[in-house]
Amino acid sequence: MFILETDRLTLRHASPDDAAFILLLLNEPSFLKFIGDRGVRTLDDARGYIANRLIDSYERHGYGLWIVERKQEPGPIGICGLVKRDALPDPDIGFAFLPEFWGAGYAYESALGVKRHALEVLRLPRLLAVTNEDNASSIRLVEKLGLEFARMIALSKDQPELRLFALEARG
């Protein structure tokens, strides 16, 4: 299902056909370092992740992490969207791209589309973001979107503290 488009990109629901891409992305060293190890090691694991994490969120909340593709050249290059965590009162914006697609502004462009969708279509009152202390490119991106640093937060007891950013909807 189509969600939104930007100048160069489209965002859509994930499907079981994205399993190979998800398997690759979730095992990228940058994903493991800055987001975490989701334990996805096989195509079957990836299909499970798509069903239980991605599609489940679309059904439960009406949003989730969506698949990002370029209009010029179809095929998944990253994920970007909204995550509802038990530990946070409002959804946070999340993104991860295959390294070969970094440095072209795709993450920012898709995240800006997601921010607009969150505020204008879903009419969410507040948008959050969480990043590792040392995830400089992600922190820069979140601040470029207009979110402001709020405080440090631990999402669970055994996890290191993360930076929490927030943006209040106007009006």
Give the three-class secondary structure for 53.
helix
- CA pair distance 125, 65, nearest whole angstrom: 19
Token pair for 146: 């207009």
User: Does residue 30 touch ligand COA according to CB under 6 A?
Assistant: yes
Beta bridge partners of 147: none
Give dist(CA 128, CA 165) in Å, integer.
5
Identity of the residue numbered 72:
Q
> How many chain residues touch ligand COA (CB under 6 A)?
20
Indicate whether 27 belongs to the interface with ligand COA (CB under 6 A): no
Residues 103-122 that bind ligand COA (CB under 6 A): 103-108
- Cβ distance to ligand COA smaller for residue 44 or 159: 159
Residue whose CB is less far from ligand COA, 21 or 31: 31
Of 139-158, binders to ligand COA (CB under 6 A) are 140-141
> With CB under 6 A as the contact rule, which of the stretches 12-20, 47-55, 65-73, 132-140 interacts with ligand COA?
132-140
Binding flag, residue 71, ligand COA (CB under 6 A): no
Cβ(129)–Cβ(147) below 8 Å: yes
